[in-house]
Amino acid sequence: MTIGGRLNRAPRTGGWRTCAAQCAACLTIAVTTSAAAQVHLHVDAGMGDARDLQGANVAVAPSLGWTGRWWSVNGSGRYASRGDAGSALMGELEALGWLRLTHGLAIDAGWSGRQRSLSWARDASGWDATLGLSLEGGGGGTRLVLGRGQAQRSLAHVPLSSAEGTVWRQFGLVQIEILGRQTTLGEPVPRANAPGDSLQPGGGEVDSNPAHQFARYTDLGGTVRSARGAFSGSLALGHRFSPVGGGGWWRVEGLMWLTSRLGLVLQGGHNPPDLKLGTGGGRFTTLAFRVSLNGSSPVAHHRASRPGAEGRSLLLTRQPGGGTSLAIRAPGAGRVELMADFTDWLPVDLVPREVGWFDLAIPVPPGTHPVNVRYDGGAWTPPPGSPTIQDEFGGEVGVVRGE
């Protein structure tokens, strides 16, 4: 349960409203299913001062994701209800597919759509299709994305186009990410009796047709994420520049697992309006419990190692039916091989799955196993981040445990 105060900004009026003594409580139920298949399901249920409805309300927010070798599909929703203000329902669906061109270079294409309903009547919707290019290596990477779609403005949709660049890098346990994004709503309208595309961003002489209203928004921001033991957290800061109204935004989130089943989540921040839906924005704070129903927390399910100096890390995932799957993140590597007692010490190629990740096709049997890996035919080394011991042959071997 939570208690938190928030200043809420009415999205339509643009004025600030102080919501005194607002309490937010949120119970988060997280279910992670079939971790080996990269399927996750989260259900957030609770009460809060939501982004969807002003004032305290009851909210339920499920989220389901499925990540395959070359694609991922994620869906999420949020239902908020307050007795005197009706209800709000927001849903988002995102699908992304990617293709590796080289070991570090990949292209991706995706689609995402978002819709909001008020008291079960559709209020706003927006979507965009994206085309991206990502390059990863040396513990970091960059991604460029172009998007095209439609956004809600007043009672009509306007064309939406966006260009986004992201750069990230891992420093030990900390990941830092910098983002720049420009979003354009509407289309440039040639001014009457004037040659060329003389634009009037966000005001001046604009066509009364909403589809032709034109505005440009530029977001610059950064995020720092980290996790250690039972703790994980992130901090995002940024600023939106726009002739029609910008401002700073920030968001902080912390998660602490109290037990393997119960965690505590603290969120707070100030969001800018949602450009796709033309709604939202404002300050919020939330303190919530996160409950994992399937017996252990995601932290317990995923035992990934500390990334090494070259951004390499080991991921062991407990499979539902027994056994443990193994994956190694080796940015920049074209080939990763593994040998262990369960391969009779014969090298086995790991299967490249997505940019920087390689999967062992067979499960790690239960028990403790000595394991060596090598990258691009180099020397045999312990898996990144695993406990390491000297072997009897002048080298080192890592210890990996299957369950």
Of the residues 306, 319, 323, 381, which one makes contact with another protein according to CB under 8 A: 306
164 sits near another protein (criterion: CB under 8 A): yes
Span 23-62, contacts to another protein by CB under 8 A: none
- If binding means CB under 8 A, how many residues of this protein chain bind another protein? 71
Of the residues 56, 354, 359, 375, which one makes contact with another protein according to CB under 8 A: 354
* Best CA proximity match to 278, nearest among 66, 123, 49: 123
Q: 315 is written with which tokens?
A: 């991921």
Beta strands in 229-281 (DSSP E): 231-241, 247-257, 262-271
Q: Which residue has the tokens 């979003």?
A: 183
Question: Under DSSP, is residue 81 helix (H, G, I), strand (E, B) or coil?
Answer: strand
CB of 121 to another protein, least distance (A): 26
Of the residues 320, 347, 362, 376, which one makes contact with another protein according to CB under 8 A: 347
Contact 62, 42 (CB under 8 A): yes
401 sits near another protein (criterion: CB under 8 A): yes
Of the residues 79, 127, 214, 249, which one makes contact with another protein according to CB under 8 A: 249
377 sits near another protein (criterion: CB under 8 A): no
Neighbours of 119 (CB within 10 A): 11
CB of 373 to another protein, least distance (A): 13
Distance CA 359, CA 253 (A): 30
Of the residues 212, 251, 261, 335, which one makes contact with another protein according to CB under 8 A: 251
For β-strands 231-241 and 215-228, DSSP reports them as antiparallel
CB of 150 to another protein, least distance (A): 19
CB of 384 to another protein, least distance (A): 10
CB of 392 to another protein, least distance (A): 4
166 sits near another protein (criterion: CB under 8 A): yes
355 sits near another protein (criterion: CB under 8 A): yes
Distance CA 19, CA 49 (A): 9
Of the residues 7, 236, 256, 266, which one makes contact with another protein according to CB under 8 A: 236
Of the residues 78, 181, 283, 318, which one makes contact with another protein according to CB under 8 A: 181
393 sits near another protein (criterion: CB under 8 A): yes
Of the residues 191, 212, 303, 335, which one makes contact with another protein according to CB under 8 A: 303
CB of 368 to another protein, least distance (A): 5
Contact 326, 351 (CB under 8 A): no
For β-strands 25-31 and 282-292, DSSP reports them as parallel
Segment near another protein (CB under 8 A); pick from 48-56, 151-159, 184-192, 220-228:
220-228
Of the residues 170, 213, 279, 324, which one makes contact with another protein according to CB under 8 A: 170
310 sits near another protein (criterion: CB under 8 A): no
CA distance to 110, 278, 317, 330, 336, per residue, from 387 (Å): 39, 51, 17, 18, 19
Distance CA 55, CA 49 (A): 5
Span 118-137, contacts to another protein by CB under 8 A: 134
253 sits near another protein (criterion: CB under 8 A): no
194: exposed, middle or buried (C-beta count within 10 Å: 0-12, 13-18, 19+)?
A: exposed
Of the residues 357, 359, 373, 375, which one makes contact with another protein according to CB under 8 A: 357
Of the residues 83, 229, 321, 377, which one makes contact with another protein according to CB under 8 A: 229
Strand 351-354: give its sheet, edge to edge: 302-304, 313-318, 324-329, 357-359, 351-354
Distance CA 285, CA 250 (A): 12
294 sits near another protein (criterion: CB under 8 A): no
DSSP state of 298: H
Distance CA 9, CA 22 (A): 14
175 sits near another protein (criterion: CB under 8 A): yes
394 sits near another protein (criterion: CB under 8 A): yes
- The DSSP element (H or E) to which 276 belongs, if any, is none
Distance CA 196, CA 160 (A): 21
Q: Which residues pair with 74 in a beta bridge?
A: 65, 94
Of the residues 168, 214, 284, 358, which one makes contact with another protein according to CB under 8 A: 168
Contact 242, 11 (CB under 8 A): no
345 sits near another protein (criterion: CB under 8 A): yes
335 sits near another protein (criterion: CB under 8 A): no
Q: 327 is written with which tokens?
A: 């994956």
Nearest residue (CB) to another protein, 145 versus 288: 145
Span 183-212, contacts to another protein by CB under 8 A: none
